[in-house]
A and B are shown apart, each in its own frame.
Chain A
Amino acid sequence: MKRHLPLLITILLFGYAFLYGPIISLIVYSFNESRLVTVWGGFSTKWYGELLQNEALLGAAWLSVRIAALTATVAVVLGTLAALALVRFRRFRGRGSLEVMVTAPLVMPEVIIGLSLLLLFVAMESVIGWPAGRGMTTIVIAHTTFAMAYVTVVVQSRLAHMDLSLEEAALDLGARPLKVFFSITLPIIAPSLIAGWLLAFTLSLDDLVVASFVSGPGATTLPMVVYSSVRLGVSPEINALATIIVGLVSLTVLVVGWVLWKQEKRKQSEAH
């Protein structure tokens, strides 16, 4: 194994350079004075200033954040229920179909999810009158449907590796199942709920295709604004926006990762 060490290190270096090079170039050129994104014209933060004055973009960002927060919350509830059903109940009617329905959205092309949901919403509106028109509600429903599948995967793996003896002890001592769930199961799987919530939030915040299909007039999300701007060509403002997003995401992932890691360590030391 030792002989291959230089080769393995080279592979990793090239791999990570490929993954991070483009992101670093984005960040560097967001501080570029020149409008021509790839010609260096000196250091400047003016594009961040222009970004803050772009009302359309800020409005879309605020809408996207609200949609993402709602989506993530509903998706965590539904995804946790699906994970509980699949891990805790071995045999039930509809297990096979539930398994397929939580796996398929992970790989289903977005154009199909978007178009099929739009057709459903149009048909529902003409038959039962709801949802009246399309906008934030329909986007939240659509995002929840594919985001909950990701939450299910995350929570499922945590539930599968959970020690059941604590729950059994509580039940033996006479605690009601609901009480056991809220005071024992939920705290134990909490890290996976947080991870699932954050994943659902980013998936929703990032989605262009599904939202374009199921959105209506007046509901323009951030990816739609970015997409129409990118189609017209590169602009330093988008670089500035990208840098802010990358910064926020890295910060969140690092902080949450660190907190969860600390908790895990504390638990381990308590157990010993």
Chain B
Amino acid sequence: MKLKQHLPPARNLIIAIPWFWLALFFLLPFLFVLKISLSEPVLAQPPYLDLIREIEDGLVTIMVNFGNYQLLLEDSLYLSALLGSLKVATISTLCCLLIGYPMAYAIARSPSHWRLPLLMLIILPFWTSFLIRIYAWIGILKGNGLLNNFLLWTGLIDTPLEIMHTPFAVYIGVVYNYLPFVVLPLYATLIRLDLTLLEAAADLGCRPWKQFLLITLPLSLPGVLAGAMLVFIPVMGEFVIPDLLGGPDTLMLGKLMWTEFFNNKDWPLASSLAALLLVALIVPFVLLRHFERRAEEGAA
């Protein structure tokens, strides 16, 4: 009956199975992105030259091509796409916070039996299709869409507004889709806020807005920053929203990468764009981990 001792302990298996799955299918692929970004594009299947090639019998050579990165630096298109992504991600993160904070605050201060249904209502749209939620906005924002028809009917405008295919439409789409990601962490920090602090401040004569600025806002900062990064990071690489709601002047990294890959079949250039995006996301990701930890510690 020594069989049990020969089997690998369950503990190791529980750790190893998810670890190896993620290492193989999440971490290892990044190395291939790096590798292909250093290769030369060719018209073949797959459309790149392998870095390690055998030129003669047994003679192996490694050819590294920095041309893709050189192109990223030289062609201003790619720099403006990076700046475009940063701009859209920053502005829409701020808008999400401006709309999401009051909502999270209102839910956290509502009667306790209302909170769960109100939170469910925030999450429910997130369960319906992302693509369909974007599609809904096309019907509202386009030239003869619902919004323009309504504004024309009220007489506020004489000619239809051009909202579709503008940066404004992209902001609406991003804020609409990413709002739950800021409301949930904000709610989690606001609900744990010690209300006796506010009472003490009020007893000492502190005005409500000052209470908010000096107590509520600083204490909810980990939630604010965690929520901000949950929006900022994925929006940096967003493709569907700028593609469907934005116009040709909406330059963003995710959209450019998609075009290079699917339309131009330039896998190496798409890979170097992905590498650029990954590097740009390292700092926000470290920030996210830091503030999520702080929010968790606040909970404990």
Q: Which residues of A contact B (CB under 8 A)?
A: 1, 4, 8-9, 11-12, 15-16, 18-20, 22-23, 25-26, 29, 36-39, 78-79, 81-82, 84-85, 88-89, 92, 94, 97-98, 100-113, 115-117, 119-120, 122-123, 141-142, 144-145, 148, 152, 177-178, 202, 205-206, 208-209, 212-213, 223, 226-227, 230-231, 234, 238-239, 241-242, 245-246, 249-250, 253, 257
Contacts and interface: CB of A to CB of B under 8 A. Distances in A.
Contact of A177 (B10, B32, B234): B10
Contact of B125 (A9, A23, A97, A208): A23
Nearest to A123: B32
Interface in B1-38: 10-11, 14-15, 17-19, 21-23, 25-30, 32-33, 35-36
B106 A12 contact: yes
A13 to B, nearest CB: 10
Interface string B121-157: 1101101111111111111101011100100000000
B32 A119 contact: yes
B258 interface: yes
A245 B140 CA distance: 19
Given A29-B139, A112-B274, A89 B15 contact: yes
Nearest to B118: A12
A112 B19 CA distance: 20
B69 interface: no
Contact of A23 (B18, B25, B133, B145): B133
Contact of B139 (A38, A110, A213): A38
Contacts of A102: 18, 22
B117 to A, nearest CB: 10
B97 interface: no
Interface stretch (B59-67, B73-81, B214-222, B236-244): B236-244
Nearest to A20: B125
A70 to B, nearest CB: 15
Residue of B23, B28, B132 contacting most chain A CB atoms (<10 Å): B132
Contacts of A205: 129
B288 A120 contact: no
A26 B258 contact: no
B135 A120 contact: no
A116 B267 CA distance: 11
B179 interface: yes
A170 B27 CA distance: 39
Interface of B: 10-11, 14-15, 17-19, 21-23, 25-30, 32-33, 35-36, 46, 99, 102-103, 105-107, 109-110, 118, 120-122, 124-125, 127-140, 142, 144-146, 149, 176, 179, 208, 229-230, 233-234, 236-240, 244, 254, 257-258, 261-262, 267, 270-271, 274, 277-278, 281, 285, 288-289, 292
Contacts of A113: 26
A245 B136 CA distance: 13
Nearest to B278: A112
B15 A120 contact: no
Contact of B28 (A20, A36, A104, A120): A120
Contacts of B244: 230-231
B125 A117 contact: no
A110 B239 contact: yes
B135 A257 contact: no
A109 B15 contact: no
Contacts of B292: 103
B293 to A, nearest CB: 10
Residue of B19, B105, B244 contacting most chain A CB atoms (<10 Å): B19
Nearest to A77: B17
Given A81-B14, A242-B129, A110 B19 contact: no
A206 B131 contact: yes
B60 to A, nearest CB: 16
Contacts of B19: 82, 85, 94, 97-98, 101
A226 B285 contact: no
Given A22-B140, A116-B274, A250-B124, A15 B258 contact: no
26 contacts: A8-B105, A12-B107, A18-B99, A38-B146, A78-B17, A85-B15, A89-B14, A89-B15, A92-B11, A94-B15, A94-B19, A101-B27, A107-B229, A112-B33, A113-B26, A119-B33, A148-B21, A177-B10, A206-B130, A208-B240, A209-B239, A223-B129, A226-B135, A238-B132, A242-B129, A257-B120
Nearest to A83: B18
A110 B237 contact: yes
Contacts of B29: 116-117, 119-120
Given A223-B129, A234-B135, A245-B128, A109 B254 contact: yes
A208 B134 CA distance: 13
A242 B99 CA distance: 26
A109 B130 CA distance: 14
